Amino acid sequence: MVTARDWPFTPLQSPARPAAFSHAEADTGIDGYVLAEQLKQGIDLAPEADRLTLIRRATFDLTGLLPTPEQCDEFLADSAPDAYEQLIDRLLNSPEFGARWAQHWLDVVRYAETDGFKLDRTRRDAFRYRDYVIRSFNSDLPYDEFLRQQIAGDELEPGNPEAQIATGFLRLSPEEINGSDYRQIRQEMLDDITDVVGQSFLGLTFGCARCHDHKFDPISQREYFQLQAFFAPLKQHETTLVPDGTEQDRQYEEQLEKWEAATEAVRRSMDAMVDPLRPVVFSELVPGFDEETQAALKQDPERRDPRAAQLAMLAGKQLQRSYVRMFRRLPDDKRAQYDELAKKLAEFDKVRPQPLPTAMTAADIGPRAPATHCLEGGDYQKPGEEVQPGYLAVLSKEEPRITPLAEHPHSTGRRAALARWLTQPTHPLTARVMVNRLWQHYFGRGIVGTPNNFGVMGDEAQNPSLLDFLAVELVSEGWRLKEVHREIVSSAVYRQTSISDQNRLHERAEDVDPENELLWHAPLRRRDAESLRDAALIAAEELNTQMFGPSVLPVLPVALHEDRYAWQPTPERQAHVRRSVYLFVKRNLQYPLFTAFDHPNRVATCAARPATIGAPQALLLLNGEFLRTTSRRMAGDLIVETKGLPTELVQQAYDRAFNRSPEPDELQAALTFLRTQSQRIAQAGSPHADSLPDPLPAGFQPAQAAALVDFCQALMNSAEFVYVD
């Protein structure tokens, strides 16, 4: 008999359908499984939410944005029986769909654009992985292909640039490039990759098995390192995205030749000044490394074994960083000469071609893999038994079939074998884990409440038959995630109301299921950090929906300007109002608004963000520079749009912030606030310029404008703005 704890490890198969029953709302498979569990407890679904709530909810869940007032009006006026289905199709096909759901995936894979650790060096091309994820979700790339490309895109699709970019997943580990023991750095990166692959794709936390057999799940230490052996040959790689021989490549090479010819004398003179310092830097820096890395760096590159080549590659970054700065060691007179030469070289920048676009990718170090050993206590200095690649026995009894790849002779084929195994249609965990993640983001909690841990120490599945129904649906639909999205948002369970008279009708439900685990009403959820910022920009009608490209460095609060990890903001102001998914992600310094609203640190995988409640959140919404600036722009726009008419001002502000008109009592309260607040400000003297819209429309008094700014900011600080019904 399969127990609840054994269930996640059983092959995926179609679950038994719930016993037949009559229910007006049970119009999808999802509803049948949910209602079957509810009826066991004598409870039922809540009524369907009103149409305004539905368009707000669906638009937020599928795109992360608010619907426009025009979209709300159009939907509310549409009496067609399939109006809701058409709305869902439009949202699934929106380019903003990929941006929203990529954000969830980036949490899981701990995406960041810097290395972390003390140096926290920027990864210039990391954004291409983010853009790949957005494109993949928008195009509905089958999930099995999405997974395979990230694990082994270079091996399975060597001619596909998108598959190359996808391997950036294997480059997302934090990395200490200015360390001293590169054996330890290599091992920690392998441990991190192994752990994250387990959590993100398998929903298992088996990191403790690196030191000893898992105490709870049937995973041995030997199996941990067998799984790690699939990644043992990895090397970091920078892939040029322009194929050789194309017109763009040819033009680049021609222009580069011209620049090199024009600058040859200058560059030769500069190199002649610093090259004698190269062995000096080498002799100073390398003795501080571990002995194995020292030996690898001193060895002829052609004679290095795979492990030595990896160590030399990792340590070489620190060496290269020191070589680039050798000119600083020159005596003053030589340094002056060098600087003059550098100025001459810069004069040729106008003829120097822009570098061809590159991506942060991964590959194998060669056709042979370094040995993988079980490490005693997980200590890289205590290697034990050598192991070969292998799968977890609890999931599969088959041996990996690792074959040479004719299309990729410089690779071992190990990751390709792992990727194929992970995406078998009957794999016990792959589809279950992914559909559980989708469910989590619609209902605030997964069917398995611990999305990264389906093991013994994780939560038991609330409704395993429902999860299997969705997983089988995913596989049968060709691993197309949009079909699962459509199934979920079309269900009566999803379309329930969250607040209404059902509180009287569901007294029993509140008694038997106070946490709403059986989903007898829609959950109320707080916006995440990114969507809160985006909502403020939408209310101000400022959101720039430009897609893709290098990340935006936003303006930091003045208090952070002296922080050692502070950045210079992107010069173009219009870039500062792009969607939050395109903001720069630095491990050692988060954007303050994101920090307050539980943005993960991206050092470790984050399966589900917490939703803490604390005073700093309210203070940041009331006094933070971003919300204050956004409120000023919203107020200035409203004054122009409404010609300063108070009632119109309030109505337009409500429409922008909440997609609705104010109730009569809300309208009166708002008008009273604007009048009394402007009086207070006038009595206190002229308001500070920072509290006024810029420019201030003619004929509108500064005190009135400042009061309107306060009103707009108050709307963005309200529960209706911060929470999603």
283-305 residue pLDDT tens: 999 999 999 999 999 999 999 99
- For the chain, the average pLDDT equals 92
Three-state secondary structure call for residue 504: helix
The residues, any chain, with a CB within 8 Å of residue 79's CB and separated by 6 or more, are: none
> pLDDT exceeding 90 applies to what percent of the chain?
75
Q: What is the pLDDT of residue 608?
A: 92
Would the pLDDT of 636 be above 70?
yes
Amino acid identity, position 591:
Y
The helix/strand/coil state of 586 is strand
**Residue 406 banded pLDDT, cuts 50, 70, 90:** confident
Q: Helices 464-476 and 481-490 meet at what angle, rounded to 10? A: 130
Lowest mean pLDDT among 60-64, 614-618, 668-672: 614-618
- Under the banding of pLDDT at 50, 70 and 90, the label for residue 27 is low
Statement: residue 122 has pLDDT above 70: yes
Grade residue 264 by pLDDT with cuts at 50, 70 and 90: very high
Tokens representing residue 127 in the block:
């954004």
Under a CB-based contact definition with an 8 Å cutoff, are residues 597 and 125 in contact? Answer: no
How many residues are recorded in the chain?
725
* Secondary structure letter of residue 559 according to DSSP: G
The structure's pTM equals 0.95
SS3 assignment, position 122: strand
Name the amino acid, one letter, at 310: Q
Report the run of H or E that residue 422 belongs to, with start and end: helix 414-422
Instruction: Give Cβ neighbours of residue 337 (< 8 Å, ≥ 6 apart).
Output: 273
Q: Using pLDDT thresholds of 50, 70 and 90, give the confidence band for residue 26.
A: low
Tokens of 507: 């007294």
Query: Percent helix, strand and coil across the chain, each rounded to 5?
Result: 55, 5, 40
Where is 361: in which H helix or E strand? strand 358-364
Q: Is 526 helix (H, G, I), strand (E, B) or coil?
A: strand
Are 631 and 622 within 8 A, CB to CB?
A: no
Q: Is the pLDDT of residue 3 over 70?
A: no
Report pLDDT for 360.
Answer: 96
Whether 25 and 411 have beta carbons less than 8 Å apart is answered as: no
pLDDT value, residue 501: 46
Residue 239 has pLDDT above 80, yes or no: yes
How high is the pLDDT of residue 689? Answer: 65
Q: Alpha helices, DSSP H only, in 43-181?
A: 51-63, 69-77, 83-92, 95-108, 127-138, 143-156, 161-166
Phi, psi of 544 (to 5 degrees): -95, 115
Rounded distance, CA 184 to CA 179, Å?
9
Does 510 score more than 90 pLDDT? Answer: no
Instruction: Write out the two tokens for 449.
Output: 């409440």
- Tens-place pLDDT, residues 410-445: 899 999 999 999 999 999 999 999 999 999 999 999
Residue 621's pLDDT is what? 86
Distance CA 434, CA 141 (A): 14
Helix (H, G, I), strand (E, B) or coil at 450: coil
CA distance 712 to 22: 48
